[in-house]
Amino acid sequence: MNVRANDGWVTFHPGLVRNMVPQVSTSDDRVSERRVLAALAERLKGWDVEQLAAPGEESADRPRSPVKADFLGHAGRFVEAEAVQAVDASFTMTCPGHDVYGSVSTWFGGGSASLACGVNPRTKESWVQEAYRLTCG
């Protein structure tokens, strides 16, 4: 958003850049999606299954609230970015008498960043670099 030095409070309305669609597939339909997500949450350490998006919870459905910022005295092109953390994994589960193979894609948590075009964001976070590149050029 282009901001003039005397604009003061400005409201950013986040737009969707990419939609993530969680999915779980297994070689044995008797293994539930919830069981796979619970095992993944345990492996991620610090997350529980309720924090992981289950199939049917697309990131497009995630609430995005307008962000207000005070730019009084500052002019330029500014960006407010939000992100979720994505996980794509393949797995093998040992079940009685056989192994089950599968894959899971999900997302969790989130992050935000305020960026000024023309000012290097100086971060290794790939989503911040992508947001900067997509909006600032």
Q: How confident is the model at residue 105 (pLDDT cuts 50, 70, 90)?
A: very high
Cα 3–chain centre separation: 27
Average pLDDT, the chain: 89
9/12 Cα distance (integer angstroms): 10
pLDDT at res. 93: 87
* Arithmetic mean of pLDDT, 48-75: 86
DSSP category for residue 62: S
pLDDT at res. 104: 95
pLDDT at res. 1: 85
DSSP category for residue 53: P
pLDDT at res. 59: 83
70/85 Cα distance (integer angstroms): 28
Nearest C-alpha neighbor of 91 from the set 76, 102, 105: 102
Q: Which two tokens stand for residue 110?
A: 């989130």
Q: How confident is the model at residue 40 (pLDDT cuts 50, 70, 90)?
A: very high
pTM for the full predicted model: 0.73
pLDDT at res. 26: 94
